[in-house]
Structure 1
């Protein structure tokens, strides 16, 4: 398994390559996963790695993060912000759930500064939504999320 630092470097590289295409969504899909290449599963891998290294409840859980669906991208105020849902599972079961996330990273002269990021994850005021429920309904991310995990790059060791 790759370290958080290695995943962050891979994510930074992938986002840097795709940065010029971010503004132009060329597909009919409502997600930006195709536009951002490998970024969706790199975001998932980075979040899982950080959670397991820094939060005891994750290091002892049988949970894993499979992938993410990227629902919005914004480049404003020298920040790249990616918002969507993470797809979670448990070991020894095929059931999956979703949880919202927001990843924000500093941009300096259109270059990503991977040392300055924030990861927000999971709504502490919301029940777990199964992936099946998500697929069957038009799920929208609530703008008033009470984030359960607030991860700032300055506060963790990578």
Structure 2
């Protein structure tokens, strides 16, 4: 299994490789996965590594599978990715979904620098939704009204906060 640092470096490299490709996207899209290469599973890999560090909040038998990237917003100074994380539980075939937002600043040259970033994951007051149900109703996570269950903010000194009920 890759370390958190290895996944972070792989994600940074993949995002920097994909940013020029994303500038050519015309019009709205349902999912951005095909333009972002390995970003979808690297994002949830990084998220899962953070969540595993705090086993009281994230059950250690859970594993991240992949994500559907629903929004990709690139400005001169930052990158924001919204999506739906898909995860499972060991020895169980069912998978679950929860929303996330990943935000990272860009350097002056437009490159991603993952030495500082944030993740918002899971909605407080809302249970995870099975992937089978999500496939039938893709709008289930469209509401932005709830607070986030997990807030992960990586800065020079790492902080992790959970609002888990």
TM-score (norm 1): 0.90
1:17 Cα deviation after fit: 0.5
Task: Pick closer, same or farther for the CA change 1:152–1:84 going to 2, 3 Å.
Answer: same
Query: Match of 1:74?
Result: 73
Structure 1 residue 23 displacement after superposition: 3.4
Further displaced range: 5-14 or 27-36: 27-36
Aligned to 1:129: 129
What SS does structure 2 have at the residue aligned with 1:11?
Answer: helix
| Cα deviation 1:36-89 (Å, max 9, x = unaligned) | 00000000110111110134232x432111111100000136110000110011
- TM-fit CA distance, 1:29: 6.3
Q: Number of residues paired by the alignment?
A: 156
After superposition, the Cα gap between the structure-2 partners of 1:80 and 1:28, relative to the gap in structure 1 and judged at 3 Å, is closer
Give the aligned partner of residue 151 of structure 1.
Answer: 152
Counterpart of 2:35 in 1: which secondary structure? coil
State whether residues 54 and 156 of structure 1, in contact with CA within 8 Å, keep that contact through their aligned partners in structure 2.
no
Cα pair 1:25 1:32 within 8 Å, conserved: no
Q: Does structure 2 conserve the Cα–Cα contact (< 8 Å) formed by 1:118 and 1:153?
A: yes
CA distance 1:28–1:72, change in 2 (3 Å)? closer
Separation of aligned partners in 1, 2:86 and 2:100: 10
> In structure 2, the residue corresponding to 1:41 is in which secondary structure?
helix
Any stretches of 5+ residues in structure 2 without a counterpart?
Answer: 160-165
RMSD of aligned residue pairs (Cα, Å): 2.0
- Give structure 1 stretches of 5+ with no counterpart: none
**TM-score (normalised: structure 2):** 0.86
**For 2:33, what is the secondary structure of its paired residue?**
coil
Q: Confirm or deny that 1:4 pairs with 2:4.
A: yes
Q: How does 1:58-73 map to 2 (within 5 A)?
A: 58=58, 60-73=59-72
**Aligned counterparts of 1:126 and 1:133: Cα–Cα separation in 2:** 14
